[in-house]
A and B are shown apart, each in its own frame.
Chain A
Amino acid sequence: MSDILTRVKKVTVEELGVKEEEVVESASFTEDLGADSLDVVEFVMALEDEFGIEIPDEEVGEIKTVGNAVEYITKKTAS
């Protein structure tokens, strides 16, 4: 879990150009971290690359916050 959080943080900092301390579990990618719709597409691709998973378009809506991303990836990588 903590490893996944660390890696999600890394991808977020890199892709969205935000400071690491801003990337807290409750932070919303669009509301708090300044991501627009195109940023989200690229960010999701980066998560897919980082974790070697596929995130179908219809499931992207589940990933609104940093915490959501960690939960989603934990679930995906466990199965």
Chain B
Amino acid sequence: MGRVVVTGLGAITPIGNTPGEFWTAAIAGTNGIARVTLVDPSPFDSQIGGEVKGFDAEQYMDRKDARRTDRVIQFGIAAAAQAMEDCGVELTEELRDEFGVLIGSGIGGLNTVSEQTKVLYERGPGRVSPFLIPHMISNMPAGMVSIIHGLRGPLSNSVTACATGASCIGDAAEIIKRGDAKMMLAGGTEASINDIGFSGFCAMRAMSTRNDHPEVASRPFDIDRDGFVCGEGACVWVLEDLDHAVARGAKIYAEVAGYGQSADAYHLSAPHPDGAGVARCLTMGLRKAGLTADDVDYVNCHATSTGLGDKAETMAIKKALGDRAYQIPVSSTKSMIGHTFGAAGAIEGMACIFALRDGVLPPTINVFNQDPDCDLDVIPNEARQQPIRVAINNSFGFGGHNACLVLTKYE
């Protein structure tokens, strides 16, 4: 089995529309949450979100696609374009056949579904757009990226709800390891801040209703957390076979050393309260990386700011890493950007990559009174200077999906 490294990054996030802008904001503890503007929030219990600001689709695609493709596709195309440029590869016809795409979305083109459903009921089936189906299916961000860049290797989309970003990166790394591609664009994209999305999440009573104070609404590990805050965005990585990257003199950010997957087999939205599924996922990721609990320096948690989830994840980390868990700093990037669903694992894994590169750990903001049931070192409120060699990203999704990426400093 070969080794896989990260040689390019691209991102559109609620706190920055490039990887560099995101990272500068993240280590400054920047809040990206405000009253939402993409939809009139007044009918909803939760009226706040982490929106992407100042996004100009025409910077990344032609006018036709910028006008009509779903926002989820646009974010994916934009992040992929940045990552392609960043990796600096020269595409030959041979390489195009060995360069794949695995960019997922947990939900798909929900804006398109919402708009076209209105068209159906108001104007009849004859007025529904021929682009409804292509723009709503969750594999289309990957499909369009493949078409735009002429990448003809494996093309897919690992849909695991809020674990989608991590699943896509993990699965793409294994495609390279088993020799089916030399390079992969991998990651996740999501854009579900719309009427139907907010209706559904609010009905689940899963979202924060701290509408008067959006800046402190996403507060993982805090005792007064009251649900997640909806985010949006995309992040795409260039994954590359190590030998291929070295041969072309590529800049190497980090190594994807291990990938764990497991299921809770418990409930369609609630995490298993004892965290056993997540613990097995972590153990698998470390085993595949050839590492143990003693090697882990930082965990970027899934921690969405829900009562059950943050507690169960804390238990899982302790179960997998033992007493050492108390010495490992952990944080939740969602405290700043909200829950970007299918993009979360890719964006938050990118935070791990920059932490490995710079020796700076991003904070969990809005920790005012840490929940005693979430008693790990959560890097409250301020970034920490600390050189690290091994970082883990946790991602979990409705349905009981667990995924973790074990990322290491490339030396």
State the A residues within 8 Å of B (CB). 14-17, 34, 38-39, 41-42, 45
B267 within 8 A of A: no
Size bracket of the B interface: 10 to 19
Show the binding face of B for A, using Cβ within 8 Å: 62-68, 127, 129-131, 134
**Count of A-B residue pairs with CB < 8 Å:** 21
A38 to B131 alpha-carbon distance, docked (Å) = 7
Contact between chains at A42 and B131 (CB < 8 Å): yes
Name A43's closest neighbour in chain B (CB-CB): B130
Chain B neighbourhood of A45, CB < 8 A: 127, 129
**Contacting pair A42 B62 (CB below 8 A):** no
Are B67 and A41 touching (Cβ within 8 A)?
no
Q: Could you say which of B64, B127, B131 contacts A16, with CB atoms under 8 Å apart?
A: B64
Q: Contact check, A17 vs B129: say whether CB atoms are below 8 A apart.
A: no
CA distance in complex: A70, B333 (Å) = 56
Chain B residues, CB < 8 A from A34: 64
For B62, the chain A residues whose CB sits under 8 A away are 17
Query: Across the interface, do B130 and A42 meet the contact criterion of CB distance under 8 Å?
Result: yes
Please state if A17 and B127 are interface contacts (CB–CB under 8 Å). Answer: no
A41 vs B68: C-alpha distance when bound (angstroms):
14
Distance (Å) between the CB of A20 and the closest chain B CB? 12
Contacts of B66 in A (CB 8 A): 17
CB-defined A-B contacts under 8 Å, sample of 11: A17-B62, A17-B63, A17-B65, A17-B67, A34-B64, A38-B130, A38-B131, A38-B134, A42-B68, A42-B129, A42-B130
CB of B328, distance to nearest CB on chain A (Å): 51
Which residues of the other chain, B, contact A38 by a CB distance below 8 angstroms? 130-131, 134
